[in-house]
Structure formats: C-alpha cells, structure tokens
Amino acid sequence: MITFRIKDEAEPDNLRPVMIDALQMGALRETLAAYGERYGLDLIIHDYGSLDEQVFAWEARTAMMPIAMIARHFTFDVDAIALIETAQFLGRRIRIARRDDEPDIMVSLSTNPDAAPEMEVSNSNAYAILAMLGLGTDSCGAISIEQLRGSLADPVMTSRLDAEPGLAR
C-alpha cells in the first residue's frame, strides 16, 4: 500500500525546531487524545517507529486547538509559541520526531497540511495514478501541491481526464 498526501514545502524564515523531553511529549499526546475524543477527531498521526524506540516520528493536528492548550506542554517557550502559531496560521501539522543522528526529541513544522486528506491505495493503483498524472514513480508518498497543480493544469492532462468516462470533475 502507498499513501499519497499533499505536501507544502514552503518554509517560514527563522522558525527553529523546539526540543522537548519524553514527559512533555507524553503530556502533549494525552492532551491531543482527550481533545480529539471530546470532538470526535483523530489528532495524532503516526509516521514511523514507536515511542519506546530510539527513532520515531508522529504528527499532531493542532490547527483547531487553543494555542495555550498546546503551549503549556512547552512551558510557554517563545520558540514553541511561534512554532504553534505558525502551524495554525499556515494550517499545518506539527511534527514530533527523534532521529537516529539526534538524541533529543524535536518538534518542528510539518510539511503536511493539517486537514489535508490522505489516500491509501495499492501499489499497482498508485503507479497507475502517477502514470495518469504524468509523474514518475519517485513521486510515491508525497506530491508537492505545485507539482499536482501543474499536472492538473496541463492541457494534455485535461484531455486525458475528459477521455476517461469514470473520472468526474
């Protein structure tokens, strides 16, 4: 299975990742889970690894939450508040990860839009979608919004979509 998601690679200037410890991360996850349960939302998106492993990553949908509710887990650090505000302003998720070359848990701005849909399809269907869009197989997993817009605006693509009776506009 391959998951397609829209990716926004625009990086705001002067936005530094924020370091947190395992207790802060655990408290943040509890807050996200409770808020999500209260409003029927899935706010924690697992990426890879598990929290008890050395390497892991997950993302949090925070755009609909009060900033103070999130910032308290970072002891109201100025850089953390700037990160959360930027994520909310841009409608992006925050990413919590520990990489194999970094011992600390870092929180940064995700490239994934907060409420963007993801599409999980079989490998064969994924390659067919990429071929139809005129994209290479190296695009699997993430397609930049600029690349997708460019493909869909191409007149060749428009005629290809018009010729497919099963595709609705």
Q: Which of 51-60, 107-116, 122-131, 157-166 has the lowest mean pLDDT?
A: 157-166
Note the pLDDT of residue 132. Answer: 77
Q: Confidence class of residue 140 from pLDDT cuts 50, 70 and 90?
A: low
Q: Is residue 169 over pLDDT 60? A: no
Say what the pTM is: 0.73
Q: Please state the domain extents for the chain.
A: 8-113, 122-163
**What's the chain's average pLDDT?**
85
| Tokens read off for 41 | 């939302």
What is the average per-residue pLDDT within 45-67? 91
| CA proximity to 59, closest of 100, 81, 28, 15 | 28
DSSP assignments along 31-73, one per residue:
HHHHHHHHHT---EEEEES-TTSSSEEEEE--TTS-HHHHHGG
Instruction: Map tokens 């050395």 to a residue.
Output: 54
Note the pLDDT of residue 133. Answer: 76
More confident residue, 46 or 160: 46
Q: Confidence class of residue 166 from pLDDT cuts 50, 70 and 90?
A: low
Beta bridge partners of 41: none
